[in-house]
């Protein structure tokens, strides 16, 4: 396909927000800088028209790295014994929530390894109630704590959480089986996404991409899957190596520039087909390039998750090697982020929950 034809696919999608699998594959395969800029600029124009030059923040609290799962790619998988395990105390989580209030972030995310013991479910429920009380109901709360029963999701919703992020990781069941041990079920993952909708959350999902054995058409189908699921928000990012994992051990180095470009193309194409959802510019982009998260915003993303966790714990929460900001405290994270967001002409949506327009229209 020549550049003129590719250019007309972008023009058409900017107007009607529709792309089929072949068209998405064509856009994901773009190599020319001129066409890449055209794609990113079209996605950014949609973001400006639907959302404005506004970035919403979610203060990220990495509550613990104890996980019952053993995903082949993840640095905190249960089978990795080269790290010390932690679960923050309630006071430590509340302290992070207080920082979010002090920094006027408007919203937080509690993210961590997947646990489903009755004690853990009670602990999260009680912590949510305390965060709501402490913030006078002002702080928005997103959870990302893996697969749970419908009842647990409902209890956490009733306690004050209103958004939940659960990535499908890949929409291709065969690939899912390659990324996970046999005990991790693709169908259960889908069921959990259904439970989240039934429990009234704003539902977020996402994928990991750019790993061996995956084709452009798998990635295109991932984006079409997210559209079909009608998600309110997306957090997705390129695979990055963690050497103490089955997928990362002996993995040849990945090309950072290629992974970053792929990440930006995925964001831009998603923005073309889902104009009014929240899309996160994830930390993994910053790991690939110092200005990676800002590039994500300019390719159509509108959410950033600055880390609020204490630096003492950050090195124990490495999903992949070379996680950025490991020694940077929450105040430094905030100051650096504010400067860099302003430098690209965007404004921070301080003090707001920043729900997606997609959800508001539902």
How many C-beta atoms lie closer than 10 Å to residue 27's C-beta? 23
Any contact of residue 239 with ligand SAM (CB under 6 A)? Answer: yes
Tokens of 27: 């856009």
The single residue among 13, 97, 127, 169 that binds ligand SAM, judged by CB under 6 A, is 169
**CB of 67 or CB of 193, closer to ligand SF4:** 67
**CB of 157 or CB of 239, closer to ligand SAM:** 239
Any contact of residue 74 with ligand SF4 (CB under 6 A)? Answer: yes
Residue 320 in contact with residue 83, Cβ under 8 Å?
Answer: no
The single residue among 38, 58, 242, 314 that binds ligand SAM, judged by CB under 6 A, is 242
Q: One symbol per residue from 4 to 33: x for binding ligand SAM (CB under 6 A), - otherwise; what is it?
A: ------------------------------
The single residue among 13, 19, 43, 71 that binds ligand SF4, judged by CB under 6 A, is 71
Tokens of 182: 């046999």
Any contact of residue 259 with ligand SAM (CB under 6 A)? Answer: no
57 exposure class (CB count in 10 Å sphere: 0-12, 13-18, 19+): buried
Any contact of residue 124 with ligand SAM (CB under 6 A)? Answer: no
Positions in 293-322 near ligand SAM (CB under 6 A)? 319-320
The single residue among 284, 285, 305, 348 that binds ligand SAM, judged by CB under 6 A, is 284
**CB of 53 or CB of 191, closer to ligand SAM:** 191
**CB of 73 or CB of 313, closer to ligand SAM:** 73
Q: How far is CA 257 from the centre of its chain?
A: 20
Positions in 105-144 near ligand SF4 (CB under 6 A)? 113-114
- 300: Cα within 13 Å, side-chain hemisphere: 30
**CB of 38 or CB of 77, closer to ligand SF4:** 77
Q: In whole angstroms, what is the distance from residue 301 CA to residue 81 CA?
A: 35
Tell me, what DSSP letter sits at residue 39? H
**CB of 65 or CB of 333, closer to ligand SAM:** 65
* Segment interacting with ligand SAM (CB under 6 A) among 179-187, 191-199, 238-246, 331-339: 238-246
Tokens of 324: 């950025």
The sign of the CA dihedral 223, 225, 231, 235 is negative
CB of 360 to ligand SAM, least distance (A): 25
CB of 153 to ligand SAM, least distance (A): 13
**CB under 5 to 8 A by kind: which of ligand SAM, ligand SF4, none does 240 bind?**
ligand SAM
* Segment interacting with ligand SF4 (CB under 6 A) among 53-61, 70-78, 330-338, 343-351: 70-78
Quickly tell me which residue has 């860099």 as its tokens: 340
Any contact of residue 74 with ligand SAM (CB under 6 A)? Answer: yes
Positions in 196-255 near ligand SF4 (CB under 6 A)? none
Residue 267 in contact with residue 297, Cβ under 8 Å?
Answer: no
Any contact of residue 349 with ligand SAM (CB under 6 A)? Answer: no
Q: How many residues lie near ligand SF4 (CB under 6 A)?
A: 9
Nearest to 88 by CA among 106, 62, 116: 62
Q: In whole angstroms, what is the distance from residue 91 CA to residue 107 CA?
A: 18
**CB under 5 to 8 A by kind: which of ligand SF4, ligand SAM, none does 77 bind?**
ligand SF4
Which residues would be at the binding site for ligand SAM (CB under 6 A)? 73-74, 111, 113-114, 144, 146, 166-167, 169, 208, 237, 239-240, 242, 284, 319-320
């Amino acid at each position: 396909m020549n550049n003129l034809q590719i250019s007309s696919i972008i023009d058409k999608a900017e107007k009607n927000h529709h792309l089929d699998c072949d068209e998405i594959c064509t856009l994901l395969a773009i190599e020319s800088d001129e066409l890449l800029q055209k794609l990113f600029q079209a996605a950014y124009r949609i973001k400006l028209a639907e959302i404005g030059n506004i970035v919403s923040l979610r203060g990220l609290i990495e509550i613990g790295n104890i996980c019952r799962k053993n995903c082949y790619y993840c640095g905190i998988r249960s089978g990795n014994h080269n790290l010390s395990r932690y679960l923050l105390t309630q006071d430590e989580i509340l302290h992070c929530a207080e920082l979010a209030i002090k920094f006027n972030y408007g919203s937080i995310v509690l993210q961590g390894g997947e646990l489903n013991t009755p004690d853990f479910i009670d602990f999260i429920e009680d912590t949510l109630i305390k965060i709501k009380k402490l913030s006078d109901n002002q702080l928005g709360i997103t959870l990302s704590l893996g697969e749970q029963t419908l009842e647990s999701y409902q209890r956490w919703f009733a306690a004050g959480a209103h958004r939940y992020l659960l990535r499908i990781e890949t929409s291709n069941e065969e690939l899912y089986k390659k990324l996970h041990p046999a005990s991790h079920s693709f169908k259960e993952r889908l069921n959990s996404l259904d439970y989240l909708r039934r429990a009234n959350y704003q539902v977020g999902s996402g994928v990991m991409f750019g790993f061996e054995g995956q084709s452009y058409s798998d990635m295109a189908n991932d984006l079409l899957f997210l559209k079909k699921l009608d998600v309110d928000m997306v957090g997705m990012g390129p695979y990055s190596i963690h050497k103490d994992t089955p997928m990362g051990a002996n993995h040849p180095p990945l090309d950072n520039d290629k992974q970053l470009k792929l990440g930006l193309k995925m964001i831009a194409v998603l923005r073309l087909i889902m104009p009014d959802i929240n899309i996160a510019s994830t930390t993994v982009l910053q790991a690939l390039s110092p200005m990676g998260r800002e590039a994500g915003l300019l390719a159509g993303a509108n959410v950033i998750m600055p880390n609020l966790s204490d630096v003492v714990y950050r090195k124990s929460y490495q999903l992949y090697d070379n996680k950025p900001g490991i020694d940077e405290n929450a105040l430094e994270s905030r100051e650096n982020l504010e400067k860099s967001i302003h430098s690209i002409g965007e404004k921070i949506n301080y003090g707001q929950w920043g729900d997606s327009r997609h959800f508001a229209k539902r």
